[in-house]
Structures are given as structure tokens and as C-alpha cells.
Amino acid sequence: MNRSDREPSGGSPGSLPGRKLADRRVRVKRPHAPYFRYTGPGQMVATKAASAPTTPGGRLVARLKATAIGRPLANEQEILERLPKVKALPIFSSDAISSSAYATDEILKVLILAGAAALTWSIGVALAIALMLTIVAFSYRQVCRAYPSGGGAYVVARENLGPRFGLVAAAALMVDYVMTVAVSTASAIANLATAFPVIGDVRIELGALTVILVTAANLRGLRESGNIFALPTYLFVGTALLAVGVGLVDVFTGQAHHLAQPPYAIPPESQTLTIFLLLRAFAGGSVALTGVEAIANGVPAFKPPEARNAANTLIIMAVILGTLFIGLTFVGAQYGVRATLDQGPTVLGQVGGAVFGNGILFVTLQVSAALILFLACNTSFNAFPRLAAILARDGYMPRQFAFRGDRLAFSWGIVVLAAVAVAMLVAFGADTHALIPLYSVGVFICFTLSQTGMVLHWRKERGPGWLWRSAVNGFGAVLTAVVFLIVASEKFREGAWMVLVFIPVLFAMMWFVGRQYTAATRQLELRPGQVVPHPHREERVVIPVSAVNRAVGQAINVARTISDDIRCVFISDDPEETERFRDEWQEHVPDVPLVVVESPYRALVAPLLAYLEVLDRGWPDDREKPVTFVVIPEYVARSWWERILYNQSSRRLRTALLGRPHTVVVNVPYRRDEPGIFESIAGGGRGGGS
């Protein structure tokens, strides 16, 4: 700031007098104050005003954005956006907990192939799945503590098995998250369509709209989306636990009797109950585990102490999920519930009807189940962007994925997930049957890799109890690997092959991005101790001109500050015009050499590039090539339509010069509303600084 910025001082007429004669003071202006705050020597923080858009269009977009997703939050508010356990549970667990609403059905659908008597095996299968859930949850609890920066299976595999396995886990997880959004949305729409058949005609549009709404809720930030999604999750957990509790009381008081066969019950078949059939039932029921890993991905989203809170939330989720799953399976078995075709009631619906009758509790249970299935996709909207951000920070995804949006959410990840999920919905016609074979395949790959990674982690750490911890994780790895093989082979022909193609493709893309970033970093890095030297190269300036006007005058003056070696190049396809131009040039800028290039083929950019090439070739071989500054005069457009009318050639030229060796492109804008600048630098009569 110069003196003119402050009030006059001393006894001058404009000074600020005090109450006593000598008490004068000077008020110092603080031009930085609205935009920056000093926080340390040479360090400033930009305020909200500094980040605000300056154009009317930008301000309008910002206002619309603020209306849709809320006002921008500052980084320091991130801690306020962190989730307490009570909000984190619904956000990260809606996927896992919602699977208790249909996991038992998946077991019964397989067991019925061996006849109605085989259904009693459902409890044993459910217990085995619960054991696997315990192992997986235990493993991820350790992951939360060992890797508090989040990332779950990806980080565990990367750290213990190497980056390639890490990327396999990440690719598998990402595919599964996309599928979770597509499948849960499609199935929720299908459920609604059974009640309101008219919806069936617009299910793709409705599915896309649902995804957009969940996207908007997530773009509003963690805390707000937590508020939105908490109620349905807790409502479902409450009513389902009540159903299990009442059912258990009925069972132990002898009031539970086998129900009549529900409509659309799958008829029993007469296959032999083999270990393979039991394994298939086990694999079918293992969908209950999808979403269990989400908390380990999002540890940094928790309030401090992050790792402990995440680990405890994971256990709470596992306990709720396990209780609901075993409880519903056990009570269902006592009531003799049956798996049905899609049109028939679910196991949850049959148990609810048996214990609650047809009253308000039954309706609440069904509505909350529909809602939680609807919102199961929200877990993906929290886990996917976090995983993508970690991958971006590691250099395996474009860096934009690591940037936080206005509301501190990882907006890129959220939007990309929504876009891909909507594309899947459109591609598969929002048909649950077409989408479901692609679901819950990838997650077992990442379970297996994370368990295997944890085995190596324990072996490396050799802390107390490492041997039994390794054994548990090793057992879990084998179990989840078996489930993966069964699930993949079962669903392969129905569409799982696509997942097994997507995963390597995604892996290859991330590997490619990683290699690009690594190569670029290596090329750009300064060696330790290396000091950037002063330049010894010569500089010259080339100014392409199309007229003799103020914009060109300003460009010439900027060029004069760069080098004395300046030449202007006029490319013309009209000899008469050239003569006129030369005369005009001599009149206004006689001291700057003008090179006229006649272009009989009317090309503009190519002759200029050729001229630059000729200049380079003419440079003595024994001297280092000079830096050529191409100074391009530009007229600053004041409205959108002026942008169409002006600067088209400059844009083409700029694009053509991009990446040319030893060349720097300088744009010199000329603003029509600042004529004073030209007047002064062009030696006009007004004077003054530029």
C-alpha cells in the first residue's frame, strides 16, 4: 500500500485530530482484511470472501449450489462435521444391517432344493455365517486400530501384500460399491412397484432420481446426511429387534406354531443334502456381510479418538447384524417360514406378521425395511469417495478425487459413483434380476485380501497373542476365499463374469494412472540440495499481430520488459493489405521490427509455427537455444457473445504452441474499459503509472 492509502498526517487538514492538541493519529487502511488473515510470518489464510466467485454467472452458480447443498464450510469446520458413533452407525451400516432383511431368504432358497426338512439346517448355516461375521468384524476392528487413516482392505493389502494386491482389493471394493447403489435402488423400486404397479413403467427414471437425491444429501456433508439417514436405520433396527424378541418369547413359551404356506412359496425339490448344497446356502447367506468393511474405510470421519470410536461402532454394527440375522433365522425356523418368489412375502415379513399380527408394528417393520433397503446405497456413498480419495492421494486415481467440496465431502467420488450407478441402472433397465448376479462378488475378494494381509501384519508385529490372531485371520481368509469361489462360480454365467472383467480393467486403469503420476513426479523433482540456478539463456520475443491497435501496443510494451530482441510477425494473404499495414506500422511503432509473412494458402497458425522453427534453426549451434516468448495480444471480452466474436485465432495459436520446446506463451489482455493504461505506456499525454 502506498501513502495515498492512508489518512494524511500531522497537522495536515485531513488528519485525525485528538481531544488534545498533540494527540493526532493516523488510521492505516487494511486492504487485505476482507480477503486474507495473517496467521504467521509470511503466511496468510484466505477468507470466504477471497474464495467467492467474482462474475455474475459465478455468483449465480454459487447461490444455486448453496441452496441445493448448503453454504461452503471451511477446513477448520471439518472437526465439527465428524460423526459421533450414534450418527456414524446409520451412515456406515445401513448396507450391512439392511442385509439382515434378506440374508435368511437367500439361505432358505438354496436349502429348499433338498426338501422342506432341510430348512432346519438354516440355523446351522446362519451360525456359521455369524462365525464368519465375527471373524471379519474382529479383523476389521484391528484394521481400524492399525490403520486409522482409513482405506480398509486396500490399505491392509497394500501395506502387507504389496501395492498390486492393494489395487485388486480397491478395484473389487469399488465395483461392489457401485453395484450396491444400483442393486439397492433397483430392488427398492421393485418393492414399490409391487405396491404401485404404475411405477414399473418409469423405474429407470425413478431409480436415477433416487440416486440423485441421495447424491444431493451426501453432497451436503456428513453431518447433515447423518441426520437424514439416521431415522430409517434406527427405526428398522428397533422394530426388527422387537420382532425377534417377541418371537423368542413366543418360541420359549410354546406359542410359536408353524405358519400356513405363504403365497408364492418356492416349492421343495428332492436334491440330496450334500456339503456342496450347504456351502451354496452358506455362500447365499453371506450377502449379510456386504458393507461390513465400510467403517474401516471411513475411520477419519469419526470424532476423536477416531480409531477407537470406529472400532466400537463396527462391533455395535456386527452385534446388531448378527443378532438380527440369527434371531430372524431362528424364529423363522420355529414358525416354519419359507422362501418365496419375488412376489411373495420375505422371511422378515412372515416373521413380522407372525409375531405382530397385522397391526401398526407390522406396518412399521415393513415400511422401515423398505426404507433401509432404499438407503443401503448410502453406505457406498460414504465409503466409495473415501476410498477414492485415499487412492488419489496415493497417486492411483486422478487427484481431483482427493479434493473436498464446499461441504467438506469428497464431491468427485460422490458424483462419479452416482454417475456410474445411474449408467448401470440404465444399462440393465433397473432390473434387479439382471443386476443382482453382479452384486456381492467383489467384496469377498477384498475380505480375503484383508484377512490375508492381517495374517502377515500379525506375523510382522509379533505382539501379544499374534499367533492366535494370525490363526483366526488365516481361517477367515480361507473361509472368505471359499465363499468367493462359490459365489463367483454360482453367478458366473448370470453376469458375475462382468465383475471379474471390471475388476482387472479398473486395476489396469489405476496402475496406469499410478505410473503416469510416478513418472511425472520423477521428472519434476529437484535433487536434494539442488539450488535453482539463475538463467544463462538468451531471450527473444515474437509477437503475432493482425492489426495496429492498442492491444498490440500493450503487448509490445509488455514484450519490452522481457527482452530487447523483439519482432512482430504479420501473416497476410492480401498483398495490398500488407502495404497498408506496413505504412500504418511505420507511423505508430517505427522502432519495432515487423516481419511480414505472406500466406498464399491463407493459413495462419502453420506459417507462424514454421517461422518460429526457422528462427530456431538460424540460431548458432554453439550457443544454447534461446527462450522464445510468444506474446499474444488479446482483447478481453466483456460478455459471452464477445467471446465468440474475438480471440479465436489467439486461442488456436495458443493451443498449437502448447508444449513447443523452449517456448513460453504470454497472453497480454487489453481491457477496453482501461484506456488509461494504454495512454500512459504508449507515451500519451496523460502520464501516471500503469
Partner 1 sequence: MPELLKPTFRRAVVAVNGSPTDERVVRLVSELARPAKAEVVAVHVVEIDWTMPLDADIAERSEEAQRVLDTAEAVAEQHNYRLEGVLLQARDVGAALVDEAAERQADVLVLGLPYRTRFGGEFAIGRAIPYCFKNAPCTVWVVRDAIPEEPR
Yes or no: say if 409 and 221 are a contact pair by the CB < 8 Å rule.
Answer: yes
Q: What does the alpha-carbon distance between residue 667 and residue 631 come to, in Å, rounded to a whole number?
A: 6
Whichever of 49 and 117 has its CB closer to partner 1, that residue is 49
Q: Which residues contact 359 (CB under 8 A, 6 or more apart)?
A: none
Q: How far is the CB of 43 from partner 1 (least distance, A)?
A: 9
Smallest Cα–Cα separation from 561: which of 575, 584, 579, 543? 543
DSSP string, 268-315: P------HHHHHHHHHHHGGGGTTTTHHHHTGGGBPSSHHHHHHHHHH
Contacts of 63 (CB under 8 A, 6+ apart): none
Sign of torsion over alpha carbons 303, 46, 394, 225: positive
Find the binder of partner 1 among 13, 27, 523, 620 (CB under 8 A).
27
Give the residue with the Cβ less far from partner 1, 4 or 54: 4
Interface with partner 1, residue 3, by CB under 8 A: yes
Residue 29, interface with partner 1 (CB under 8 A)?
Answer: yes
Looking up cell 462378488 gives: 441
The secondary structure of residue 635, as a DSSP letter, is E
Identified binder of partner 1 from the candidate list 22, 79, 360, 532, rule CB under 8 A? 22
Is the dihedral angle over the CA atoms 595, 599, 603, 607 positive or is it negative? negative
212 binds partner 1 (CB under 8 A): no
305 binding partner 1? (CB under 8 A): no
Region near partner 1 per CB under 8 A, out of 19-27, 151-159, 233-241, 544-552: 19-27
Other beta carbons within 10 Å of 32? 13
Tell whether residue 460 is a contact of partner 1 (CB under 8 A). no
Q: Is residue 625 a contact point for partner 1 (CB under 8 A)?
A: no
Name all contacts of 254-263 with Cβ < 8 Å and 24+ positions apart.
Answer: 256/331, 256/334, 256/335, 256/354, 257/335, 258/335, 258/336, 259/335, 259/336, 259/337, 259/350, 259/353, 259/354, 261/338, 262/337, 262/338, 262/340, 262/344, 262/345, 262/350, 263/340, 263/343, 263/344, 263/345
Give the residue, chosen from 8, 58, 84, 675, that forms a contact with partner 1 under the rule CB under 8 A.
8
Q: Which stretch binds partner 1 (CB under 8 A): 4-12, 83-91, 278-286, 481-489?
A: 4-12
Helix (H) or strand (E) holding 584: helix 575-588
Q: What φ, ψ does residue 163 adopt, rounded to 5°?
A: -60, -30
Is 32 a binding residue for partner 1 by CB under 8 A? The answer is yes
Q: CB-wise, 39 or 75, nearer to partner 1?
A: 39
Applying CB under 8 A, the span of 38-46, 217-225, 302-310, 372-380 interacting with partner 1 comes to 38-46
CB of 428 within 8 A of CB of 434?
yes
Nearer residue to partner 1 within complex by CB, 2 or 639: 2
Least distance to partner 1 from the beta carbon of 223, Å?
A: 17
Identify which of residues 76 and 673 has a Cβ nearer to partner 1 in the complex.
76
Applying CB under 8 A, among 38, 252, 264, 276 the residue interacting with partner 1 is: 38
3 vs 623, beta carbon nearer partner 1: 3
When asked if residue 5 is in the footprint of partner 1 (CB under 8 A), the reply is yes
From 8-16, 194-202, 271-279, 351-359, span contacting partner 1 (CB under 8 A): 8-16
CA gap 149, 365 in Å, rounded:
37
Out of 19, 527, 536, 686, point to the residue binding partner 1 (CB under 8 A).
19
| C-beta closer to partner 1: residue 37 or 672 | 37
18 binds partner 1 (CB under 8 A): yes
Q: Rule CB under 8 A: say whether 23 interacts with partner 1.
A: yes
Q: In whole angstroms, how close is the CB of 162 to partner 1 at the nearest point?
A: 45
The answer to the question of residue 40 lying near partner 1 (CB under 8 A) is: yes
Q: Is 399 in the site for partner 1 (CB under 8 A)?
A: no
Alpha helices per DSSP H over 202-221: 203-219
Interface with partner 1 includes 71 (CB under 8 A)? no
What order of strands is seen across the sheet that includes strand 663-670? 594-598, 566-572, 539-545, 627-635, 663-670
Grid coordinates representing 390 are 485415499
| 10 lies in the site for partner 1, by CB under 8 A | yes
Question: What is the distance of C-alpha 83 from the center of its chain?
Answer: 19
Contact between 522 and partner 1 per CB under 8 A: no
Min CB(8)–partner 1 separation in Å: 7
- DSSP letter string over 519-546? HHHHHHPPPTT--PPPP---EEEEEEES
Residue 424: helix, strand or coil by DSSP?
helix
Q: Pairing state of beta strands 566-572 and 594-598?
A: parallel
**Least Cβ distance, residue 74 to partner 1 (angstroms):** 10
Instruction: Decide if residue 7 touches partner 1 (CB under 8 A).
Output: yes
Q: Give the number of residues in contact with partner 1, rule: CB under 8 A.
A: 31
Using rule CB under 8 A, residue 1 touches partner 1: yes
Determine, following the binding rule CB under 8 A, whether residue 30 of this chain makes contact with partner 1: yes
Phi-psi region of 458 (alpha: psi -120 to 50; beta: other; left: phi over 0): alpha
**Shortest Å distance, C-beta 46 to partner 1:** 12
Quick one: CA torsion of 68, 71, 75, 80, rounded to 10 degrees? Answer: -90
Min dist. Cβ of residue 72 to partner 1 (A): 15
Choose the stretch contacting partner 1; rule: CB under 8 A; options: 23-31, 507-515, 648-656, 673-681: 23-31
Strand partners, 598: 572
- 526 near partner 1, rule: CB under 8 A: no
Q: State the nearest-atom distance from the C-beta of 28 to partner 1, in Å.
A: 4
Instruction: Kindly tell me which of 23 and 673 has the beta carbon lying closer to partner 1.
Output: 23
Our finding on whether 26 is near partner 1 (CB under 8 A) is yes
Q: Which residues form the interface with partner 1 (CB under 8 A)?
A: 1, 3, 5-10, 15-20, 22-30, 32-33, 37-42
